Chain A
């Protein structure tokens, strides 16, 4: 199916000032297009967790938000340092976030599992050059 539109958002590491802005922007656009509430809810969670992961854990990265006629794909890519054990990171409650971040209310170890739970298709690859997540939500 044809790609209708693609949005690209850059995210800086440790940028807590703007934290949540990208996912909020994505959510706003989804609402304007008129997607159903269930779809919006799922994508809002995925993009928010993805955005926070980049801010907290990575050297910075970007989110590509692609709209197709029958699906939406979110590509959440960062510039490293990568996840040592991806399987462990996918476990609910497992977290490597430092204590000062946990004090801010983040880093509960639910990020990746949440993204996985909200996706119809979830793919993750990680090396020290970066982590790439591709999350697909089917519209039908």
Chain B
């Protein structure tokens, strides 16, 4: 699998909205319908977000899949805590998931706190190549692989909280019921975006994910709201405040507390900053948090609540929980987990370098330039390519012809 959403062709009007927004120019309109090039798609979900006809549908697992396992664990993304009315206790959200049939809920925020520790250590000990870039957002790792391969080595090779949470949850499950085998346990991640879903189905930097199924939050949101209303019991929430911050932009850098760090969210902003790093301009920055969605993970396309409202809900939780009561015995075992390789992933190994045939490449560029000069440079998108330059490239590769340009055709008449 290379993509965790698909286009419902009958809903697509060929309007070009998604094509223009795509950060890697992976979309073309062919015969009035959007077509995605899977080799270029980073699963950021921008197309899903901007489609006015809701033609993109997420591929998601469902609650019914719980029957495949004896013991089911839910790991809600920390963003889930910001999706319900202000003041909704985290423990209530966990209870709602239990109500839906899960046997156990593991709080991702504790894993985020562990990962924060690992990042801190790595950034302090490894001073070569600055800034170190966060690997948490899988869409950004893919963006760097495709558009900024020179920065791949800057990405910090540390596992994402969702995977750490999965491994710790499996451990807990086996403690609760000692007869459980690996295949009896189903780990379900409640995902805010297609990128995180893909990171399970097609992991980068490791052989397999410890998560078995991914349910998009939108898929079970309604059921969760109904469950929340059914329980009025008072309960005690126990998240990691450090880890909870990870759900909003600036949370990682805030949790790491480095002197020189930058937090950037939103694709356009991330692209600007990566361009600067390629020029060697930000070597004084220790750590760079980059998140595909505006506002951070609360801006993920599978979330229900407006990202700014969700941000305020999360901040409300952060403010209103008494810190001294929060405990999780996994935090003390950090050194043990590190030794066992919990945080290790290998992203840099993917760096592939081919020696270019300069002459051929320059000739190709010149052919493209020649075609481009004939085009109107309006970037109107009517031809089905996002820009006139993209059309020139498509024509050179034989995928389109100059007749696809509507403006030139009108001028002919």
Contact = CB atoms under 8 A, between A and B. Distances in A.
B358 A4 contact: yes
Contacts of A114: 280
A69 B357 CA distance: 9
Chain B facing A: main interface SS = helix
Contacts, number: 52
Contact of A33 (B150, B152, B356): B356
Interface stretch (A37-45, A53-61, A81-89, A126-134): A37-45
B359 A4 contact: yes
A35 B362 contact: no
A48 B275 contact: no
B330 interface: no
Contacts of B358: 4, 33, 35, 67, 69, 139
Given A29-B365, A34-B361, A44 B356 contact: no
Interface in B192-216: none
Given A24-B275, A33-B365, A34-B354, A41 B359 contact: no
A34 B355 CA distance: 8
Contacts of A38: 150
A37 B353 contact: yes
Nearest to A38: B150
Contacts of A44: 278-280
B355 A36 contact: yes
Contacts of A29: 365
B279 A45 contact: yes
B149 interface: yes
Contact of B280 (A4, A33, A48): A48
Interface in A1-32: 4-5, 20, 23-24, 27, 29, 32
B356 A35 contact: yes
A69 B359 contact: yes
Interface in B60-78: none
Given A40-B150, A41-B150, A33 B279 contact: no
Interface in B267-282: 275, 278-281
Contacts of A23: 279
Interface string B341-363: 00000000001011110110110
Contacts of B279: 20, 23-24, 27, 44-45, 48
Contacts of A36: 353, 355-356
A98 to B, nearest CB: 20
Q: Which of B149, B275, B280 has the most CB of A within 10 A?
A: B280
Interface in A66-88: 67, 69
Contacts of B278: 27, 40-41, 44
A33 B281 contact: no
Given A40-B150, A41-B280, A48-B280, A32 B359 contact: no
A106 to B, nearest CB: 10
Given A4-B358, A37-B149, A41-B278, A32 B353 contact: no
A65 B352 CA distance: 26
Nearest to B365: A32
A15 B353 CA distance: 36
Contacts of B365: 29, 32-33
A22 to B, nearest CB: 11
B361 A32 contact: yes
Nearest to A46: B280
Given A36-B355, A41-B150, A67 B275 contact: no
A67 B281 contact: no
B355 A48 contact: no
Nearest to B393: A32
A20 B272 CA distance: 12
A48 B150 contact: no
A124 B351 CA distance: 35
A139 B359 CA distance: 13
Contacts of B356: 33-36
Interface of A: 4-5, 20, 23-24, 27, 29, 32-38, 40-41, 44-45, 48, 67, 69, 114, 139
Interface of B: 149-150, 152, 275, 278-281, 351, 353-356, 358-359, 361-362, 365-366
17 contacts: A4-B359, A4-B362, A24-B275, A24-B279, A29-B365, A33-B356, A36-B355, A36-B356, A40-B150, A41-B150, A41-B280, A45-B280, A48-B279, A48-B280, A67-B358, A69-B358, A114-B280
Q: Kindly list the 9 A-B residue pairs having the minimum CB-CB distance in the complex, ordered from nearest.
A: A37-B150, A34-B356, A33-B361, A45-B280, A48-B279, A36-B353, A5-B362, A44-B279, A4-B362
Given A41-B278, A114-B280, 15 more contacts: A4-B362, A20-B279, A23-B279, A27-B278, A33-B361, A34-B356, A36-B355, A37-B150, A37-B152, A38-B150, A41-B280, A44-B279, A45-B279, A48-B280, A139-B358
